[in-house]
Amino acid sequence: MKVLLLVKRFDYGGAENHVSELANALACAGHSVWLMSTPGLQQVRLHSGVGHIATDFSDWKIIFHLFRIIRMIKSEHFDVIHAHQRFPIFLGTLASMWTKIPVVATVHGSALSDLRSELVRRKLSRVIAVRESCLSCIQSIVKPAGKVILIPNGVKLPANCVDRYVDPQCFSLYYISRMDRHHIRLLKFFLIEVWPKIIARYPRSQFHIVGEGNCLNEMIEWFIMKSDYTGIQASVYFEGYAVEVGEHYLDADLVMGVGRVAIESLVHGVPLLSVKHNHLGPIVTRSNLKRVQFANFVDLDGSPPSVDRFMAILNDFLDHRLYYENEAKSLQQLLSKEYNLDLIAKRIVEVYQDVIPNNF
C-alpha cells in the first residue's frame, strides 16, 4: 500500500523519532512510504526507500500546504494518510475530505490540543492513542469512541543486552530529551542542587545530557557560568543530537526520562528513573511497572522533583546497584515483546487496512 505520513517537527523528540522509525519499518515491510515534514535532523535516519518531502509547515500557509498535499495524493494515489501533531492532523483531515482517502491520527501529546477541532474529531477515520492515560479522554471527544485504539510507540530492539560492569567507585547517569524550557528548568535544578551531592560521594561519576532543541545553547551558556561555582564542570557532558540514541545506552548505569526515552532505556536493559519536570517517580521495577506504564512512564502520583526525594532515590539505587541491574534485565525481556517496532508497525498496518475502502 502507499502511505503518506505527515509530521510538523522533525528534529529530536518522541513523536519525531517514532515517525522516522515507523516510516523505515513500513518501507522495510514492502510498503511505499512518503513522509512530509519541516526539514530536520531526523532526515538522515530515513531508509532510502522512504520518500521525504521537505516543507516549512506553518499555520499561515495552510492553503498552500493543503493544495500541495491534495496534488500529491492525486498524483501518487496514496491509500491512506497518517498524521502526527496538531497542524498535520488538521491538514490531513482537510485533504482527506477533498480526496476521499482515509486519514489516521496518532496523538502523542495532549488530545485536547491535537484534536481541538470538532471537524477533525468527526472526520478522522481512526485515532491511535500511545498511552492508556489519554485513552478515555480521546474516546470522550471522538465519536464514535470505537474509532480510538491503543497502540504504544514501538522502538527498534537492540541485538542483545550488554552486561555492564558495575564499578563501585563510579556512576554514569544519562538524561536524554528534547531541550525545551521544561527540560532545561529541571536540568538546572538537578545540576545545582543534586548532582554536586552525587559527585561528593562518587567523584569519578559522569552526567551525560543527550538531545537537541531550541533551548540547548541557553542551557550550555548557563552551565558554563554556574559550573565553576559548584565544581561539577568536568563531570558533565553535553552530547547534543544523536543520530542513533541507542549507542548511548551501552554506557549508562541509569537513565532519567519518560515516554520514548523510558521505553528505549528499558528495552536496552538499562535501569530507568521516571522523571519529568513536574513528576518525580520511582526507578522502574516489575512491582511498579503497570502503574508507571499507564501514562507512558510518567508517574502521575509522583510529586514535583525535590532535593530530598532525588537523593533518597539515587542513594537507594547506588546502594543496591545489582538489584536494579537484575530488575532491568527482567523488564527488558517483558517489554521487548510489547514495544517491538516490527510488531507495532504490523498493528498500524492493520488499522490502515481496516479503514481503506474495500479492505485493501
Query: Do 237 and 294 share a domain, yes or no?
Result: yes
- Inside any domain, residue 164: no
The residue among 338, 342, 245 whose CA lies nearest residue 289 is: 338
Query: Do 322 and 183 share a domain, yes or no?
Result: yes
C-alpha–C-alpha distance, residues 321 and 325, integer Å: 6
- Inside any domain, residue 83: yes
- For the domain that residue 6 is a member of, what is the CATH number? 3.40.50.2000
Identify the segments of the chain with pLDDT beneath 70.
160-164, 227-230, 359-360
**pLDDT for 68:** 95
Identify the DSSP state of 154: P
**pLDDT for 341:** 96
Q: Please write the tens of the pLDDT for every residue from 50-109.
A: 999 999 988 899 999 999 999 999 999 999 999 999 999 999 999 999 999 999 999 998
Give the torsion through C-alpha atoms of 303, 304, 306, 311, to 10 deg. 60
- Inside any domain, residue 147: yes
- Inside any domain, residue 28: yes
**pLDDT for 360:** 47
Query: Do 184 and 314 share a domain, yes or no?
Result: yes
Name 164's Cβ contacts closer than 8 Å, sequence gap at least 6: 250, 253, 325
Q: What is the DSSP string of 274-324?
A: EEETTEEEEEP-TTTHHHHHTTTT--TTPPPP-HHHHHHHHHHHHHSHHHH
**Residues of the domain holding 57:** 2-154+340-355
- Inside any domain, residue 188: yes
Name 344's Cβ contacts closer than 8 Å, sequence gap at least 6: 22, 25, 151, 152, 153, 154
SS3 of 359, please? Answer: coil
**pLDDT for 186:** 96
Query: Do 235 and 256 share a domain, yes or no?
Result: yes
Query: Do 148 and 179 share a domain, yes or no?
Result: no
Query: Do 311 and 290 share a domain, yes or no?
Result: yes
Query: Do 189 and 83 share a domain, yes or no?
Result: no
**pLDDT for 228:** 63
- Inside any domain, residue 160: no
Query: Do 185 and 131 share a domain, yes or no?
Result: no
Query: Do 51 and 105 share a domain, yes or no?
Result: yes
**pLDDT for 219:** 92
Query: Do 107 and 222 share a domain, yes or no?
Result: no
Q: Please write the tens of the pLDDT for every residue from 313-357.
A: 999 999 999 999 999 999 999 999 999 999 999 999 999 999 998
Q: What is the mean pLDDT of the chain?
A: 92
The number of domains in the chain is: 2
- Terminal C-alpha separation, the chain: 8
Query: Do 190 and 278 share a domain, yes or no?
Result: yes
**pLDDT for 229:** 58
Q: What is the DSSP string of 167-183?
A: -TT--EEEEE----HHH
**pLDDT for 114:** 93
Identify the DSSP state of 226: H
Query: Do 135 and 281 share a domain, yes or no?
Result: no
